[in-house]
Structure formats: structure tokens, C-alpha cells
Amino acid sequence: MLRKPSCSPHRAPDVSLVVLAILAVLSLPITARGQSGLDGWIQRYQARVTATQNEQPHWITPLVTITPRLEQELRTDFVRNVSNTGYDTWVYDNGKGLELIPFRHIELLFNTPPFFNHLAPNTNDGFGDVSFLTKYRFFARNEEHGNAIITAFFGGSVPTGKNGNGSCCAIVTPTLAVGKGWGLFDLTSTAGGTLPVTNSKGLGHTVLWNSVAQYRLEHTGIARLFWPEVEMNSSFFFGGASDGKATTYATPGVVIGRVPLSHGSEGTPGRLGLTFGAGEQIAVTHFHTTNHNLILTVRLPF
């Protein structure tokens, strides 16, 4: 689809606000040391987050599938989509951002809009839609008490995209996620659907089903940081331009983490860490608009 010409079609996104936000969050415990009240509040808050996460399995968050686990981190992804015409589109940040656990069973995700850098002619770069997500964890058992989890999501997007890089209308997406682990191996599956707030006839509805199998190489040593995985990412279209069609991608990849960047008491790893990974989405259905998509992810759990 042709878009209106832009005077700066390949303008890089302004990442200064994202960088400032990252630095502010990471420096918060340091700047607060001289303020006993704030320092005590941060310690209590982080202790509660640690206790909440200790109640659930300690798997790594997959590349594509949203984890049912509650996470607290800064995350950014970079995706290279290859269309059927052979032209690449780079998606910077891919709608990721800040994840917080404000309450025991709840996670809030505040996502920045992705930036689309199109390499095809007659296309305009621009920011996509702003999105958000809320998780509520119904059931959780850590590795010593069952190794399983059930969580509900409620996500949505607001049509803030420019130059045809977003939707026309707001969309909400309810989802149910479940996971079960056996030793070093775990399975996670999520199922949800898009519900356009307006223009549902034109947009249609999409049922989203993602499943992932992960294997942690070892319990101890450097190998414990490596999590090879295979995901199946499926979309089923009802109504709209792709009515009756379906797309499924097989996504092999590996996630490495959590690499500790700080230390707690008695030499134990602190909450600040580094996680990164890469994978490739390979279409396994006849209908698909992109193929062999590269996915890169970087996360700072804290």
C-alpha cells in the first residue's frame, strides 16, 4: 500500500527520552541513599517484588510469547521484517518499555510506540501506536511446589501511529496464559483475540495463539544462563481484509540471562541484571506477509 511521501523518509527515531528514562530508573537506588525515607521505601518495594517473583517459576521470558510470569524490567526489541516483495522493514523498540510489579499479583507494562524504518520505495517511516498491558496472576507455584502458573492479560493500543504505521482505531486484547515446567524444561501457551473498539467490520478480529518450549542447559555454572527455545506464533483472521486466512511462524531462538549486574547481601546476585537474545520467525503456512524475520531483544531486569 502506497503512503504519502515524506520529506524525511528514513529519519531515525529520537531515543533521547528512552535513554533518560533508563538512566533515571537505574540511578534511583543510588540517588536515594542519602534520603532515608525514600531509601527505606525502595528497599521494602523491591523486597516485596522479590517475594512475589519467588512464588512463581523462574523461567526466562521468551522472544515473542508474552510470559505469564510477573516481570520487572526495562526492555527493547529490534525486529527486521522481510516482506513478500523482498524489502525489509526495521521496527525499533517493537512496542516494548517499562514493566513494573506494583502489587503482589499484578504487573503493569508501559510501552513506548515502535518506530518503523521502511526500506521499500514510496513508503514513509514513522512511529506506530502506543500500547499497554496489564497482567493478573491467578495461580503460581515455583519449582519446589509444582512449577506452574496461570495469568490473565488485558492489553490495548491507541491509534497514535503516523504515516500509515498504525491502526485506524483503538484495539483491546484479552488473553489467557498458562505454563508448566518439568525440571529444566518448560512449556508456555497464550491464547487471546483482538477486539476493535470501532470499525470492527473493517478491521475484523484476530485470534492469537502462541506457544513456546524452552530448555535450560544446566542448573549451575555458565550454562545455566542459556535458554534455547522454539515458539509457534499463530494468527487466525475473522473478517477484514484477511478473512478466513491464518498465519503461523516457527520461531527458533535462544535467550541468555539473567546475567547479574549487581550484588545483594552475602555476595548473592542483586536484582539488576542483563538478558538478551535472538531468533528468527519462519513462516510455515502458505499465507504470510513477511518471512525470515530477525528478532533481537535486550532487557534490564531490576
| Residues 267-276: tens digit of each pLDDT | 678 899 999 9
- In this structure, is residue 5 part of a structural domain? no
Does 100 map to a domain? yes
Cα–Cα distance list, 160 to 62, 144, 157 (Å):
27, 45, 9
Confidence at residue 84, expressed as pLDDT on a 0 to 100 scale: 87
pLDDT above 90 covers a percentage of the chain that reads 78
Tell me what pLDDT residue 263 has: 84
What number of CA atoms fall less than 13 Å from residue 165's CA on the CB side? 26
Residue 33 scores a pLDDT above 80: no
Q: Which of 26-40, 94-108, 225-239 has the lowest mean pLDDT?
A: 26-40
Residue 4 lies in a domain: no
Neighbour count for residue 61 (Cβ, 10 Å): 24
- Cα–Cα distance measured from residue 41 to residue 60, given in angstroms and rounded to the nearest whole number: 28
Contact 93, 296 (CB under 8 A): no
Residue 71 belongs to domain with CATH number? 2.40.160.40
pLDDT tens by residue, 144-167: 999 999 999 999 999 999 888 999
In the predicted structure, residue 130 carries a pLDDT above the cut 60: yes
- Is residue 10 assigned to a domain? no
Give the pLDDT confidence of 253-295 residue by residue, as tens digits: 999 999 999 987 776 788 999 999 999 999 999 999 999 999 9
The helix (run of H) or strand (run of E) holding residue 39 is: helix 36-54
How many folded domains does the chain comprise?
1
* Distance, CA of 205 to CA of 72 (rounded, Å): 31
Residue 1 lies inside a defined structural domain of this protein: no
User: What is the extent of the structural domain holding 59?
Assistant: 16-301
